[in-house]
A and B are shown apart, each in its own frame.
Chain A
Amino acid sequence: MPSATFAGKVVAVNDEGFLENPDEWSEEIASAIARAEGIELTEQHWRVIKFMRAEYAEKGTGPTVRVLGKTSGVSIKELYLLFPKGPAKLAAKIAGIPKPRGCI
């Protein structure tokens, strides 16, 4: 299994760089993952990240962009500005939770 070092801590990640174990996450790790993706975290980013972690804790899977847009208080348009390309995927990665289980 691959591993990566974020904020001086070695953590197990999958092929796509998502943390294998959401419990190993910390705010420092989040900032480091974000930086590696070219993102400097602002308050608005944290709002989304914390929302993602809470959703994951409750439902066992991260929300999709559409659900994020409806429930996080941040519009889809803004989510794309905060987390370019794939907000749900990128925010999940930074939040240390698995890639949202795509619908089949």
Chain B
Amino acid sequence: MGSRIVILGGGTGGTLAANRLRRVVGDDVAVVVVDHDNSHVYQPGLLFVPFGLTHLDEIVRPRQHQFHRGIEFHQAAVDHVDLGAQQVLLEDGIALDYDVLVVATGATLLPEETEGLTGRGWMEKMFTFYTPPGAVALHDALAWFDEGRLVVGVVDLPIKCPVAPLEFCFLADWYFRQRGIRDRIELTYVTPLDGAFTTRVAAATLAGLLREKGVELVTEFNTGEVDGPGGRLISYDDREVGFDLAVMVPLHGGAPYVGRSPGLGDELNFVPTDEHTLQARSWPNVFVIGDAANVPTSKAGSVTHFEGEVLVENVRRFLAGEPLDRTFDGHSNCFIETGFSKALLIDFNYDTEPLPGHFPTSVGLPLLKESRLNHLGKLMFQWFYWHSLLPGRDIPGIGSAMPEHGKHREPAPL
């Protein structure tokens, strides 16, 4: 008998899961993708928009064109899921029954949850490059900015691509140098963490780079309020950081419909998910891919790609009544753009923090070290994204599991 797989969200995870599933399951299984719009944004490109290094039209494509034949695309917003009835209720009034549900609705930005952030000054002197309109508006604001203090602030974790705000600092240093006005600009990075990054070895390297580029680092700063007119970030413990221009990464949560679907999500509307099988903890016929899951690894496109393999295998096994594959290891791989046509590469998983060495083997790309080759890798990633990642192909030589080869495991200095 034919069954139906419904995938919520047609972004990175929804698209690659649909394309992989279409190849794996039989013709009698319907694969349906739901998304509320038809513009697929290559989100890593948003980092480059403010600096004029790319434009929106170069990073946005129609969603529908990314799906292989035999995949149904339904454009509508999800209102909620009824797990018991195995049904998705859409805002257009349609109800979709499913045998297997794949949640791929990513993370939602919640700037309004920080007092004052979307008040006076929002999109005038406070911006975010995490949305297409924000990135474009920031491009114009940067062009006019020729003196003062630019603050890059992360309100709280989790966020998508936690290295992106650091990359923004590095690129801002490069950008103002190119314009010959770096000496008139103060750059400050504000983070709730106790270092530049979550993991120890990478935090030390990244803090070193910030220092080298003259970016002040303010740690353990939990932004509770943003005072636009006064140009101040105010922390919950009443510390202040003044700004002339603030580039903020707002709070993230899961998609709001998750909260309207009894039993599906946690306090932040992320979906509690088994970190090795990617099966939702709530219900056995629900699987989760990408930023929507609460698994303890980065919210990144690379993670979503690595998850694809295990997720699709497990949906297949679930339909066939076989025990699930438990091999997803949290593998994450990120290029970190550092300006001046250089980049750093980090590679890690649930158990191994980012280490120096080479990727994927000892003759590969340098890890945790600036190089031009990594910058080319970062640029190439866009091509791979449209032509390899979304169609659901593996990238040659790079499997789902994190490679151990080429990593230097000598104990890191404390």
Contacts and interface: CB of A to CB of B under 8 A. Distances in A.
Determine if chain A interacts with chain B. yes
Q: Classify the interface of chain B: helix, strand, loop or mixed.
A: loop
A83 B268 CA distance: 23
Interface stretch (B72-80, B95-103, B154-162, B394-402): B154-162
A103 B236 contact: no
B251 interface: yes
Contact of B198 (A15, A67, A77, A102): A102
Interface string A55-79: 0000000001111001100001101
Contacts of A77: 224, 236
B133 interface: no
Given A80-B236, A80-B237, A104 B297 contact: yes
Contacts of A85: 220, 237
Given A85-B220, A86-B220, A103 B268 contact: no
A104 B162 CA distance: 7
Contacts of B251: 66
Interface in B279-319: 296-298
Contact of A71 (B157, B222, B267, B332): B267
A102 B296 CA distance: 8
B1 interface: no
A101 interface: yes
A85 B193 CA distance: 11
Given A101-B296, A104-B199, A104-B332, A64 B220 contact: no
Contacts of B53: none
Nearest to B268: A67
A103 B267 contact: no
A17 interface: no
Given A64-B156, A67-B267, A67-B268, A103 B198 contact: yes
A15 B268 contact: no
Contacts of B199: 104
B414 interface: yes
A70 B267 contact: yes
Nearest to B349: A104
A65 B237 CA distance: 13
Interface residues on B, range: 20 to 34
A84 B297 contact: no
A104 B296 CA distance: 7
Given A66-B156, A66-B251, A104 B298 contact: yes
Contacts of B268: 66-67, 70
Contacts of A76: 222, 224, 236
Interface in A5-44: 15
Contacts of A84: 237
B296 A15 contact: no
A100 B267 CA distance: 16
A3 to B, nearest CB: 18
Nearest to A77: B236
A80 B237 CA distance: 6
Interface in B175-230: 193-194, 198-199, 220, 222, 224
A71 B268 CA distance: 10
A101 B236 CA distance: 21
Contacts of B332: 104
A84 to B, nearest CB: 6
B152 to A, nearest CB: 18
Contact of B296 (A66, A86, A103): A103
A33 B162 CA distance: 33
A76 B297 CA distance: 25
Contacts of B220: 85-86
A104 B156 contact: no
B364 to A, nearest CB: 22
A70 B268 CA distance: 9
A85 B251 CA distance: 19
A4 B389 CA distance: 50
20 contacts: A64-B157, A65-B156, A65-B222, A65-B236, A67-B267, A67-B268, A70-B268, A71-B267, A76-B236, A80-B222, A85-B237, A86-B194, A102-B193, A103-B159, A103-B162, A103-B296, A104-B162, A104-B199, A104-B296, A104-B297
Interface of A: 15, 64-67, 70-71, 76-77, 79-80, 84-86, 101-104
Q: Which 7 pairs across A and B sit closest by C-beta, in order of nearness? A: A103-B158, A103-B157, A80-B236, A80-B237, A102-B198, A70-B267, A104-B198
Given A66-B156, A104-B199, 5 more contacts: A70-B268, A79-B236, A85-B237, A103-B162, A104-B298
